[in-house]
Amino acid sequence: MTRHIELALIGGTGLYQFPGLDKIERHAVDTPYGPPSDSVVLGQVGKHRIAFLARHGESHTIPPHRVNYRANVWALHHLGARRVLGVNAVGGIRGDVGPRVLAVPDQIIDYTHDRLTSYCDVAGAEVRHIDFSEPYSAGLRKDLLAAASQAGVAVVDGGCYGATQGPRLETCAEIVRLRRDGCDLVGMTGMPEAALARELGLDYACLALVANWAAGCGGETEISLPEIFANLAAMTTQVPRLISALLAT
């Protein structure tokens, strides 16, 4: 099945539906890799057609290490998406990316393990060695930054996303290691999603919503989950305006 979809959005923690969609269709996509996290929602934003998929399911029932990333990305590609924006809740490590900051990272380090990370992991599949030097598509990143400026949404340009296994949050010592490795943000869902998109030839970028300071970075002795969800609720209200501007670019 192919149809013209201008943008696919993968919603992370706190973004389980995309408000303001018209002419909604829900598609339960069968994939060679099992079921996606949920049905893919197709709809209109003005004149623009988008797809939306809740990474953890619309009821947030799937933890980061159990997300079927291969099925999710394949389903969006199958429905006709060619540009994919992953929205990810993250913790802030660098001083200028604290809670309620939006960032558009340009690099990633993968610390995850035991995930199905490639479409080559199937018997008989072609072995493809993708170039992953720049893990996010430059053109889509540029358009996203321009859209943020046009929409009046403040975002930080660049930064390295450290992808950890989850679902637990990291120790202070682990964050010290990530900082030493050059990570500015830490999250649990950035990989293998970005690499899978590259394998399918999709343009892919990340919009990171900083929900909290990473362990040991903000002076707090304990990370507050209610505060995390309050921060995400505040930030997700800006996402539709940013997406509308992105679709107009």
CA 134 to chain centre: 16
77 is in an annotated binding site: no
What is the mean pLDDT of the segment spanning 137-156?
97
Is 1 contained in some domain? no
Is 140 contained in some domain? yes
Write down the residue that tokens 């305006």 correspond to.
Answer: 241
Q: What is the pTM of this model?
A: 0.94
214 is in an annotated binding site: yes
Whole-angstrom distance, CA of residue 231 vs CA of residue 14: 9
Q: What's the mean pLDDT when you consider all of the chain?
A: 94
Closest CA to 85 of 206, 236, 182, 228: 206
Is 199 contained in some domain? yes
Is 92 contained in some domain? yes
pLDDT tens sequence across 179-225: 999 999 999 999 999 999 999 999 999 999 999 999 999 877 688 88
The answer, yes or no, to whether residue 84 has pLDDT greater than 80, is: yes
The answer, yes or no, to whether residue 60 has pLDDT greater than 70, is: yes
Is 2 contained in some domain? no
Q: Which domain holds residue 101?
A: 7-248
188 is in an annotated binding site: yes
Is 69 contained in some domain? yes
The answer, yes or no, to whether residue 2 has pLDDT greater than 60, is: no
13 is in an annotated binding site: yes
56 is in an annotated binding site: yes
Number of domains in the chain: 1
CATH of the domain at 201: 3.40.50.1580
The answer, yes or no, to whether residue 74 has pLDDT greater than 80, is: yes
Q: Read off the pLDDT band of 3 (50, 70, 90).
A: low
31 is in an annotated binding site: no
The answer, yes or no, to whether residue 23 has pLDDT greater than 90, is: no
117 is in an annotated binding site: no
231 is in an annotated binding site: no
Q: Read off the pLDDT band of 1 (50, 70, 90).
A: very low
Q: What is residue 212's predicted lDDT score, i.e. its pLDDT?
A: 95
Phi-psi region of 230 (alpha: psi -120 to 50; beta: other; left: phi over 0): alpha
Contact 105, 63 (CB under 8 A): no
